[in-house]
Structure 1
Amino acid sequence: MVKKWRQKMKRWITDKLELPADIVMDLPRITMVGQIHIYIENHRGLLTFSDKELRLLLKQGQLLVRGEKFVIKTILPEEILLEGKINQVIYIDE
Structure 2
Amino acid sequence: MARKWRQQLTRWITNTAQLPPDVMMDLPRITMVGQLHIYIENHRGLLTFRDNELRLLLKQGQLLIKGEGFVIKTILPEEILLEGKINEVLFLEKVE
Look up the SS of the partner of 1:19 in the other structure: coil
The reply on whether 1:69 has 2:66 as its aligned counterpart is: no
Query: What is the number of residues matched between the two proteins?
Result: 94
Letter in 2 for 1:91: F
Extract structure 1 runs of 4+ deviating beyond 6 A.
none
Instruction: State the distance in 2 between where 1:37 and 1:27 align.
Output: 20
Instruction: State the distance in 2 between where 1:68 and 1:12 align.
Output: 41
Name the % identity. 74
Shift, 1:63, TM fit: 0.2
Instruction: State the distance in 1 between where 2:84 and 2:38 align.
Output: 9
Instruction: State the distance in 1 between where 2:60 and 2:14 align.
Output: 18
Structure 1, gaps ≥5 residues long: none
Look up the SS of the partner of 2:73 in the other structure: strand
Instruction: State the distance in 2 between where 1:6 and 1:14 align.
Output: 12
TM-score, reference length from structure 1 = 0.99
Q: 5 Å matches for 1:1-94?
A: 1-94=1-94
